[in-house]
Amino acid sequence: MMKRVKIKEIFSNPKLNTTYVVKGWIRTHRSIKDVHFLSLNDGSTINNLQIVINEKEFSKDLIRNLTTGAAVGIEGLLVESIGKEQSVELLAKRIEIYGLCDSKEYPLQKKGHSLEFLRTIAHLRLRTNTFGAIMRIRHTVSFAIHFFFNQKGFYYMHTPIITASDCEGAGQMFRVTTLDLKNIPYTKDGEVDFSQDFFGKETKLTVSGQLEGELGALALGEIYTFGPTFRAENSNTPRHLAEFWMIEPEMAFYDINDNMDLAEEFIKFIIKYTLDNNYDDLKFLNDKYDNELISRLYNVLSTNFERITYTKAIEILLNSNEKFEFPVFWGTDLQTEHERFIVEKYFNKPVFITDYPKEIKPFYMKLNDDGKTVRAVDLIFPKIGEIIGGSQREDDYNKLLQRIKEMNIPMKDVWWYLETRKFGSVPHSGFGLGLERLLLFITGMSNIRDVIPFPRTPKNAEF
């Protein structure tokens, strides 16, 4: 056969009366008298190419094997279609079957499987329209992230996945060890003897690349990380994964307002880029799952995100007539119900909340002059909740040292971080954006397990 052409390419520039070779998987096969119609998908687009087969030109055996799910190559002539559903179709001249598909066993025969069921067949769900669309969008978003930062002169920095410090304070961590669990070495005091472990010390999977990212920003100016992060919290919610991908820009000479400006520009860029490049996929998801999806995306592009302080947020909550499950008072961490009220009912748009009480935030956030609040910023999105957590970082050596002592953080874990405040410290800021949280918003899906190919959650690491 000739060289394969992707179906997306044919649709974007169809040359009639030209011979093409396409290769992909059969979605459906129907027939009218002695004419057979396949809809073929090759993953390049959500749109299927219709293949028209004249029964007389092929063997009965071959035609019988053209079942849903089978992998085939077709050489044929592209012609205008008489049917209303498609503009062009391919008249098959040669057919090659790469892989048969047993229709009695293939689980994707019928349409309308639930998302729950599809999670149990994650090895095959990628072949559905829904997951094809989501994965193509996930690719576009990932590409757009690199594109955005590259064009702004940020450097992509690879921070370690295995870490010896557990002071990031972002959550429970997974242990990394080569010790024999059936024969653990102990010290005289009865503690596990990590000096015999692979790294000679206790190691974990990272929950964030931020601390190392800051080291990069204090040398290269503006950097970003984009990699997997791990949290062993037992939070079985539709918004938490044990393994997720995080984007963490870190910028020298940025204050908290510059940080918010960047976050807003960044998110709008990604959404616009996805609308420009994956409209077909978004339209499919819009029509199937969430009729307001596309209008919601356009709304975000045209709105200025709200910016309020934590203290103002508490005031809004106290003055509302809502009945909340968790009590509202200055000093408490905002619960999801509080954030949703502010974002969905009060402002009805994305909201940055800044200047949280220092007690509920990590040690590295810059202390405000009031001595009570820190220059933290969370970005809360409608329907999703927190999508970004960030801050201006404490750049004052003595203040940072004091916070480290107050919070009993072992100096052996953070001495190198603290040293950067001694050698040419500068005001700097950064934030962390969860890729899958952003994808929930962009795809309109409601469970985070459906925007990553193979989700890792408590009691689930299949595939």
Q: Which of 389, 423, 352, 83 is nearest to 249 (CA)?
A: 389
Binder of residue 436, out of ligand ATP, Mn ion, none (CB less than 5 to 8 A by kind): ligand ATP
Q: Are 73 and 2 in contact (CB under 8 A)?
A: no
Binder of residue 343, out of Mn ion, ligand ATP, none (CB less than 5 to 8 A by kind): none
User: By CB under 5 A, how many residues form the interface with Mn ion?
Assistant: 1
Binding residue for ligand ATP, selected from 437, 440, 441, 451, defined by CB under 6 A: 437
Q: Tell whether residue 444 is a contact of Mn ion (CB under 5 A).
A: no
Q: Are 110 and 239 in contact (CB under 8 A)?
A: no
Backbone φ, ψ for residue 165 (5° rounding):
-105, 135
| Window contacting ligand ATP (CB under 6 A); options: 19-27, 267-275, 396-404, 433-441 | 433-441
Q: Which of 120, 117, 107 is nearest to 454 (CA)?
A: 120
Q: C-beta of 53: minimal distance to Mn ion in Å?
A: 56
Site string for ligand ATP, 218-257 (x = CB under 6 A): -------------x--------xx--x-x-----------
Binder of residue 444, out of Mn ion, ligand ATP, none (CB less than 5 to 8 A by kind): none
Q: For Mn ion, give the closer residue by CB, 46 or 435.
A: 435
301-340 residues in contact with ligand ATP (CB under 6 A) are none
Q: At what angle do helices 279-289 and 256-277 cross, to 10 degrees?
A: 90
Binding residue for ligand ATP, selected from 255, 306, 337, 386, defined by CB under 6 A: 386
Q: For ligand ATP, give the closer residue by CB, 69 or 385.
A: 385
Q: Which of 245, 226, 233, 225 is nearest to 455 (CA)?
A: 245
Q: For ligand ATP, give the closer residue by CB, 300 or 433.
A: 433
Q: 186 pairs with which residues across the strands?
A: 192
Binding residue for ligand ATP, selected from 38, 387, 414, 442, defined by CB under 6 A: 387
Binder of residue 434, out of Mn ion, ligand ATP, none (CB less than 5 to 8 A by kind): ligand ATP
381-420 residues in contact with Mn ion (CB under 5 A) are 389
Binding residue for ligand ATP, selected from 389, 430, 444, 455, defined by CB under 6 A: 389
C-alpha 86/C-alpha 89 separation (Å) is 7
Site string for ligand ATP, 175-214 (x = CB under 6 A): ----------------------------------------
Q: For ligand ATP, give the closer residue by CB, 433 or 442.
A: 433
140-179 residues in contact with ligand ATP (CB under 6 A) are 170-171
Rounded to a whole number of angstroms, the distance between the first and last alpha carbons of the chain is 34
C-alpha 401/C-alpha 409 separation (Å) is 10
Q: For ligand ATP, give the closer residue by CB, 72 or 433.
A: 433
- In which order are the strands placed within the sheet that holds 203-205? 162-163, 203-205, 175-176
| Window contacting ligand ATP (CB under 6 A); options: 8-16, 139-147, 314-322, 432-440 | 432-440
In single-letter form, the type of residue at position 449 comes to R
C-alpha 306/C-alpha 345 separation (Å) is 13
Q: C-beta of 264: minimal distance to Mn ion in Å?
A: 17
Q: Are 28 and 108 in contact (CB under 8 A)?
A: no
The contact set with Mn ion (CB under 5 A) reads: 389
The contact set with ligand ATP (CB under 6 A) reads: 170-171, 231, 240-241, 244, 246, 386-389, 432-434, 436-437
